[in-house]
Amino acid sequence: MFSYILRRLAVAVPTLLILVVFSFVLMFAAPGGPFNSERPLPPQIMQNIEARYGLDQPYWKQMVDYVVNVVTRFDFGPSFQYRDRSVNDIIRQGFPVTLTYGLWSALVAVIVGVALGVVAAIRQNSWVDYSAVGISIGAQALPNFVMGPILVLVFTLWLGWLPGGGWRGGQWEYVILPVIALSTSYMASIARITRSSMLEVLNSNFIRTAMAKGLPMRRVILRHALKPALLPVLSYLGPAIVGMITGSVVVDVIFSTGGIGQFFVNSAFNRDYAVIMGITILVGALTIGFNLLVDILYAWIDPKIRY
Amino acid sequence: MAQVRDNLDTQKHATPQADIMDLSGTDHEIKGRSLWADARTRFFRNRAAVLGLVVLILVALFATFGGLIAQYEPQYVDFTLMGANAYKGVPSIETGHYFGTDVDGRDLFARTVVGTRISLLVGLVGALVAVIVGTLYGATAGYLGGKTDQIMMRFVDILMSIPFMFVLILMLVIFGRSILMLFIGIGLISWLDMARIARGQTLSIKGKEFVEAAVATGVSPLRIILRHVVPNLLGIVIVYATLLVPGMIIFESFISYLGLGIQEPMTSLGALINGGTSQMNNGTLWMLLYPLFFFLITLFALFFVGDGLRDALDPKDR
């Protein structure tokens, strides 16, 4: 087990380094510097600014400095656009917001998705099953940037029940719509996966034995069937979390939550490379970290996996 | 006893050709069914898949020839309608704005045609790259095996764990937002899944007798991959290419929705949906609903066609 984790880390760390170096090289391939403007600055001022941001150093030194700062102190340097703030400030401000509704979304997706899938599997070919399958196909084809506006349209404009945007420090009514928008398609996928794996498990011998012993249905499902049926869901969690992280960009923009996605898109319009790079690397680290975590969990839970 | 049976057998099957003729009771030649013909029958028996295919063809026709029906150019701005589209730009046959106008007074029908075209094009490019690069890469890795395979697939693993949406946006910012850049970005990621699938399938084909026979007769590895492995991958490759396309269309629309993809005056369904949502509370719902409708039916049609193809070409799967 320990050597498996070490081996996985041996892949994860270089991946992250490649991502950092790749985005850095991209940045230098960009035409023009971040401070080039219509009206050229006096050379003296330009020099001072470049010295302040370390842009007067040779490229390799800038890159090494950047990588060292990121790795050792988790310091992404100053923002090029918001002159008085560092990338870390921006991340510190936006990340908790994204994390809050991201975690809620993951929870909702897993709990509701699994429940829906289990019910659909138990009552196979009943109306519950058909509607669960129908909903999950529908929800899968609805990307979150379609889901979000529809939610706003229905719950804010037509019904007037929930606010259509903002965050207000995470009050519950501001969290609900972003969570629904982000979690629905993953909930649907999880429901579909749970249903098919549950059906498979329910047809297996050990479940027949449990039934034959005269155990109540509830106990058979919860104690015997659920655990093996959830393994495929666990392996889906890796890509699902990556998708949610990406999806949060759109949710941030639609609901103006002030999460990192909003900063990311704004910086993309402002050509604020430092912020874009910082967020890309942070997201990359999260992605790789979550994938690693899911893989380790999987190897730990599933006895059939050899590592 | 044995003698008797032998006698009987030789008697009965003295002319096997005649026997078969006898059995079938006809004198025309019996046609064998190829695997592809079987698959075609299975596909056309699946109603949802056929419906999906029909819808897809209609959408493609709309995207290709819709411009001929449109009464206006997609870029033409009607200044009298600008900002007044809520009551003057309502969809109607009389004005020629079949789908109404957008907030700048441009004909939404013509723009939806352009947007649908871009979405289909993105799907096509992505599928092409996935099929060509992904299949060859996966087949090569799977066929060569060993260290080469490990290195090649590790590389795919590394690329897959990078959050590409973010990297692509970074690239769009740095190299400028253009359709070409978007296509490059989609091409960069679309082949990864396919490479994995093709590799897995190659591993099982590799052990088959016809590959052994080819190796024994001294065919070069490159030729074996191209002539013997890849044709046998085609079924599964076609299935997954269809199933991957919706993801790519969503990917492009996602970026265009954020305003970072296709730029004005060109447009895509994602950009149109964005335009519709920003005007949602001004009573111009058609701006959202028409692009959304074409977006969704395209996705659904692709899902159903992909599912049908999977059932037809890869029946053992689920």
Separation of CA B55 from chain center: 14
pLDDT at B140: 92
Domain-located, residue A21: no
Q: What is the pLDDT of residues B256-281, one digit of tens each?
A: 888 888 887 788 888 888 888 877 77
Domain-located, residue B17: no
Compute the Cα dihedral for A232, B245, B57, B266 and give only its sign. positive
What is the DSSP-derived secondary structure letter of residue B55?
H
Closest residue in A to B276 (Cα–Cα): A149
Q: Which of residues 275-304 of A touch B (CB under 8 A)?
A: 276-277, 279-280, 283-284, 287-288, 291
Q: Choose the most confident range, by mean pLDDT, from A68-72, A162-166, A245-249, B2-6.
A: A245-249
Contact A10/B at CB under 8 A? no
Domain-located, residue B154: yes
Of B174, B276, B303, the CB nearest to A141: B303
The count of domains in chain A is 1
Domain-located, residue B127: yes
Domain-located, residue A277: no
Structural domain range at position A141: 92-258
Domain-located, residue B24: no
**Mutation target vs A (from B154, B170, B277, B318; most A CBs, 10 A cutoff):** B170
B253/A287 touch (CB, cutoff 8 Å), yes or no: no
The count of domains in chain B is 1
Structural domain range at position B204: 38-312
Closest CA relative to residue B110, chosen from B290, B299, B296: B290
Tell me the HSE value of B272 on the side-chain side, using a 13 A CA sphere: 34
Residues B302, B123: contact at Cβ < 8 Å? yes
User: Residue A110: which pLDDT band, with cuts at 50, 70 and 90?
Assistant: very high
Asked if residue B18 has pLDDT above 80, the reply is no
A145/B295 touch (CB, cutoff 8 Å), yes or no: no
Task: Tell me the chain B residues in contact with residue A264 when contact means C-beta distances shorter than 8 Å.
Answer: 166, 169
pLDDT at B22: 53
B163/A280 touch (CB, cutoff 8 Å), yes or no: yes
A250/B270 touch (CB, cutoff 8 Å), yes or no: no
Residues A32, A282: contact at Cβ < 8 Å? no
B166/A250 touch (CB, cutoff 8 Å), yes or no: no
Q: Which of residues 41-80 of A touch B (CB under 8 A)?
A: none
A141/B296 touch (CB, cutoff 8 Å), yes or no: yes
pLDDT at A263: 87
Asked if residue A93 has pLDDT above 90, the reply is no
pLDDT at A111: 93
Domain-located, residue B149: yes
Asked if residue B58 has pLDDT above 90, the reply is yes
Domain-located, residue B28: no
pLDDT at B20: 52
Burial class from Cβ neighbours inside 10 Å (0-12, 13-18, 19+) for residue A283 reads buried
Q: What is the pLDDT of residues A113-147, one digit of tens each?
A: 999 899 888 887 788 888 888 888 777 777 888 88
Residue A101's domain is classified under what CATH number?
1.10.3720.10
Q: Which of residues 105-164 of A touch B (CB under 8 A)?
A: 137, 140-143, 145-146, 148-149, 152-153, 157
Residues B265, B75: contact at Cβ < 8 Å? yes
Domain-located, residue B283: yes
Residue B292's domain is classified under what CATH number?
1.10.3720.10
Domain-located, residue B198: yes
- How would you classify residue A252: left for phi > 0, otherwise alpha for psi between -120 and 50, otherwise beta? alpha
Domain-located, residue A124: yes
Residue identified by tokens 């005007």 is: B279
User: Residue B55: which pLDDT band, with cuts at 50, 70 and 90?
Assistant: very high
Which stretches of A30-162 are DSSP H helices? 43-52, 59-68, 87-122, 127-141, 144-151
